[in-house]
Amino acid sequence: MLALAAPYADFVIDARTGEVLHQDNADTRLHPASLTKMMTLYIAFEAIEYGEISLDSKVTISKHAASQPPSRLGLKPGQTIALRYLIRAAAIKSANDAATAIGEAIEGSEPAFARRMNRTAKLLGMKRSTFVNANGLTAAGHLSTARDMTMLGRHLFYDYPQYYNLFSRTSADAGVAQVAHTNSRFLAAYKGADGIKTGYTAAAGFNLTASAQRGNKRIIATVLGGKSTASRNARVAELMDLGFGKAPNRATVQKPARPDYLASAEPADDGMAEAVAKAVTTASGAVAAGKTIRLNVAIVRSPRPKARPQPGIEAPAEELLLAMQDDINAALAEAQELSLTDDVPSAAVAEAVAEAAEAVPAAGTELAAAEPEAPVAPVFAATTEAQPETTLALAAAPDASTDTATTAVEGTEPLALASAIAPTQSPMPPAAPRPAEAAAEIVIAAAAPAPTADTVVIAEAPAPVESVAPESVSTDTPVIIAKPDAPTPKSRPEEIVLASFTAEEPVAEELEVVTRVSTSGGRQWAINVGHFGSRYNAERELLRTALVEISTLDEALRKVVARKGGFDANFVGMTEEMANLACRRLQARQTECTVIGP
């Protein structure tokens, strides 16, 4: 089959070092055709490694993916298929519908996947490549170069060696069909060839990125714009021979740097992928049917939900809220009063005295009689303790300025008030003084605490007096506000005996050593999953295998054993049944596995 005349380009490198061995028109932007699927598969391997998707994830085929022209796997709209089968179909058969389905499964839509392809290309150093679809069908702006495709093939080999064997299989099970490799002729004809990808469209011609190894040498070559399958394969064989001839026998392997993982990044200036929303032109110029535009509307950050109201709980009544507020205000006022110093305004003293006077009976009424020879204990109407600040205020009252002021005479016993008045609410502003019919002298003194509950002790020194004229008091009988009894302190024990205690020294017990052979519960079996040139590769294979077969290897231990010429990747601490089961499952996945007995 001959193609229309297409520009030609080729590029050859030593895969070990990246050294360029030959190039022709290597930086010309041409149509890559199905070589595009190397990028699609590279991103799929990356998504699997970072947990975006798994090989066993079920993918639902869209109308857009099912409508892709040949080469096709034959997928139907609405069909579900595991991702591993789509990867096999894209890598081996070069199925366009499978490649499109892979892109939609990872990014939600083909335009979004194309944007990720372009981001990844920049990170890989593919400076002259732009992609607008996942399968490589001819589209405006979908271009690459022989150099970029060769670099991509090298990254596939070194970045994901665990998947590279896909490109050397001549056939594979793709779930719905058995598929054959599109490059089987070159793989069979050229010694050491093991990949990688073919491509063809009328605009691109016959393309091929191939890789082969002979001895310690590995050569990767790309040809774009071949005229036929046979002539392309012959040209690639010539370039491979040229590369093996120029490459040194010994060279230090310099793996390319893996790109950073930027799956969710969205550069603002990348508008090339928007072209995929337009019709995809086939080789004959027709427009492919079944165009679908998918939008990724996943929420990046979930907003915090509002608290759900609890059933059965009603708002408290307004009266209850007011009562609670009054209680709070009263408690605050009482706390403030307790924290006051001795400096109390005289207005507060006058108010306290006025309240006390109102409780006194009418004029001429005798409150309590006191005789010097036989003092009578006063009767208290209430046991409410007077507030400390009231007593202090009364004791600190200034001297009276009127002529009617009197002092307590030593040897006489003044009368005591029936009850001590203490404020229970927050203090109010003092009221204006009211006119008095008769001036009553109230002698205010501080009383010392009494030794008993029924005895009132007279103050040691006379206290200054202040004239107050309440309405209900018309006598000149002096009234003394006495301080109530102080609480009796708890008595201390008369004698305290201290006893000494001598603890016995602990007796050292001899340690008993038990010697026996450990059988590890019969877990003396192991499996080997490969021999590798470096410890890093061995540990990486152990981790990958453990993730793939987590159900059978979850109790096994990963161990790298240094051997002559490399490192063995082993899973140890297994029973014979576990080891055999794990190997059977791994071999079913085309993974090397050997059971190691005790």
Active site residues: 34, 37, 94
CA distances (Å), 238 to each of 18, 168, 357, in order? 19, 20, 126
* DSSP H helical ranges for 292-423: 318-338, 346-358, 388-395
User: Per the structure block, which two tokens stand in for 496?
Assistant: 């305290």
Q: What is the DSSP letter of 281?
A: B
CA distances (Å), 7 to each of 4, 206, 256, 281, 394, in order? 10, 11, 29, 20, 114
Taking the C-alpha atoms of residue 14 and residue 137, their distance in angstroms, rounded to an integer, is 30
| Contact indicator for 172, 114 with CB cutoff of 8 Å | no
CA distances (Å), 8 to each of 58, 139, 232, 237, in order? 40, 19, 11, 16
Buried-state track 47-77, b at ≥16 Cβ within 10 A, e below 16: bbeeebeeeebebebbebbbbbbebbbebee
340, HSE (Cβ side, Cα atoms, 13 Å): 19
Q: What is the maximum alpha-carbon separation in the chain? A: 145
Q: What is the CA angle 64-67-72, rounded to 5?
A: 120
What is the edge-to-edge ordering of all strands in the sheet holding 594-596? 557-563, 566-574, 525-532, 594-596
β-pairing verdict for 440-442 and 466-468: antiparallel
Taking the C-alpha atoms of residue 438 and residue 471, their distance in angstroms, rounded to an integer, is 8
